[in-house]
Amino acid sequence: MNALAREPLVPFYRPVSTECALFETAHAKGLPLLLKGPTGCGKTRFVEHMAAKLGRPLYTVACHDDLSAADLIGRYLLRGGATEWVDGPLTRAVREGAICYLDEVVEARKDVTVVLHPLTDNRRTLMIDRTGEELVAPPGFMLVASYNPGYQNILKRLKPSTRQRFLSISFTFPDPVTEAAVVARESGLAEARVQPLVRLAGHIRALSGMDLEEGVSTRLLIYAASLIAAGMALDRALEATVIEPLTDEPDVAQALRDLVASVYG
């Protein structure tokens, strides 16, 4: 063995329940998985962790309003004067037996879910109309999707016929002890200095009657702790990572500053 060879790095993730065991079983059985939870609570990191742990390639697609089925499957492109078929990320994942992760799947166009249906039942097939191929997903392929239920509306909602094709896990923010340990681990800031950040996040998430679409995410806490660990003043770090990202309203921003003052004295 080459002395310089290294084992693949497994992204850090601290389980909060049985989600890792469920993912492993779903992967072994070829079952699709849907992750539900607020922005920045660890859904993407969880998928990255599990893909590395299982030794599977991972294709991540950030879904958006203009994402079409062709973006996932592939299309013909003109290269060097010749027309050449180029696989999209979903097709590559099926061919390779990889994990395909569709982040915020409800943001994609409706024709995307039609393409996914044959991959989420006993057929496990992907039809490529443009080439006439019908790919059968090999063992190892897994379809994982996520969305934030808090952002759902009438126009952007997973139909029951789609949701019921997936196993599902609900994610939320970790308990304070776990969240403090995660933020300290990821940022390099001492856990004792992270704990007030976690208390601040808890107060913000518990607020009602304020113009906040969401509470502060674990991701933002890691950003804040990273800046503080690098020597930035606390007030500047929190302004950049908590207050400004959460609101554009001056009165709400001031209320958040007052909350910071009450937590930090």
CA 254/CA 146 separation, integer angstroms: 33
Q: What is the DSSP letter of 15?
A: -
pTM over cut 0.75: yes
Residue corresponding to tokens 């804040």: 224
Residue corresponding to tokens 């065991």: 21
Determine which of 32-41, 67-76, 108-117, 208-217 has the lowest per-residue pLDDT on average: 208-217
Neighbours of 61 (CB within 10 A): 21
DSSP class per residue in 143-166: EEEEE-GGG--SSS---HHHHTTS
Question: Does the pLDDT at position 195 exceed 80?
Answer: yes
Question: Does the pLDDT at position 154 exceed 50?
Answer: no
CA 63/CA 99 separation, integer angstroms: 16
Query: Is residue 20 classed exposed, middle or buried when 0-12, 13-18 and 19+ CB atoms within 10 A define those classes?
Result: middle
